[in-house]
Amino acid sequence: MVNDIKTGIKDGLPIFLGYFTTALAFGLLTRTSGLTFVEGVLVSITNYAGSGQFLMMNLYNAGTFLLGIALSVFFINSRYIFMAASLATKLENPRSIPGRIMVGFGTTDEVFAVASFKGEKVSYAYMAGLIFTSYAGWVGGTACGYIAGSFLPDVIQKSAVITIYAMFASLLGGEASKLAKVLLIALISAVMNSFLILTAGVATGESFLISLLVSTVAGAFIYTDKEAGLE
């Protein structure tokens, strides 16, 4: 159990670094939007969602009604329904109620991706280490960003952006070395998402959801049942 927590913390370190630097910008945004320190940090404590929080603040600054903000944030977060349903099949003890609430609370894009490629099943101890480390980066970064702004030197702030993407690329590289077909599915979702965002002008949240679903269904035809891990 202690070992699982340690492995989770270790796997969470790249996420910590990426979240911390992104959250600096978010913390600063809450201050310039007129929120108090407690309110700004409370957003990250209670929401714990990158794109959803930035969207919320942008709409708040634009004077959008609460219902409009809630619907937009729900829509950008609807991808989590699919991610959570997918990760739910990998839990070692799927019946634990506090365990499921904890994992559900922590199911961000990055936690989902790392946990999904972690062997057959994942324990709650592992998930606790992974989620706690990532959460600490997100909340800590928000607090520091509110107080100090983006205090990191420009080149460090800029290069730290690559951390999370490098983590995704690294997961993809690991999978590709096992089964090259992975690249075909990744290519479909990457090309589709790029086209929708850059050419068709679709908003990031919608575009991601569409690309995710289309490439998944395409993948179900490309993969055999056995390759997909289905008995």
Q: Which of residues 192-221 bind another protein (CB under 8 A)?
A: 192-194, 197-198, 204, 207-208, 211-212, 215-220
Decide: helix, strand or coil at residue 153.
Answer: coil
Tell which phi-psi region holds residue 120, choosing left (phi > 0), alpha (psi between -120 and 50) or beta: alpha
Task: Report the b/e string of 53-68 with b at 16+ CB within 10 A.
Answer: bbbbbebbeeeeeeee
* Shortest distance (Å) from residue 175 CB to another protein: 6
Instruction: Compare residues 4 and 110 and give the one whose CB is closer to another protein.
Output: 110
Task: Report the b/e string of 122-133 with b at 16+ CB within 10 A.
Answer: bbbbbbbbbbbb
Q: Does 190 participate in binding another protein (rule CB under 8 A)?
A: yes
Cα 164 to Cα 40: distance, rounded to the nearest angstrom: 23
- Judged by CB under 8 A, the residue of 8, 12, 27, 52 near another protein is 52
Quote the DSSP letter at residue 120. S
Decide: helix, strand or coil at residue 122.
Answer: strand
Q: Does 151 participate in binding another protein (rule CB under 8 A)?
A: no
Cα 121 to Cα 165: distance, rounded to the nearest angstrom: 24
Q: Does 174 participate in binding another protein (rule CB under 8 A)?
A: yes
* Shortest distance (Å) from residue 16 CB to another protein: 12
Residues 14-33 that bind another protein (CB under 8 A): 14
Phi, psi of 122 (to 5 degrees): -120, 140
* Shortest distance (Å) from residue 148 CB to another protein: 22
Which residue matches tokens 């794109």?
51
Residues 101-130 that bind another protein (CB under 8 A): 101, 103-105, 107, 109, 112-113, 116-117
Q: Does 56 participate in binding another protein (rule CB under 8 A)?
A: yes
Which one of 1-9, 41-49, 121-129, 132-140 is the stretch in contact with another protein (CB under 8 A)? 41-49
Kindly determine how many residues on this chain lie close enough to bind another protein according to the rule CB under 8 A: 98
Residues 58-97 that bind another protein (CB under 8 A): 60, 66, 69-70, 73-74, 77-78, 80-89, 91, 94
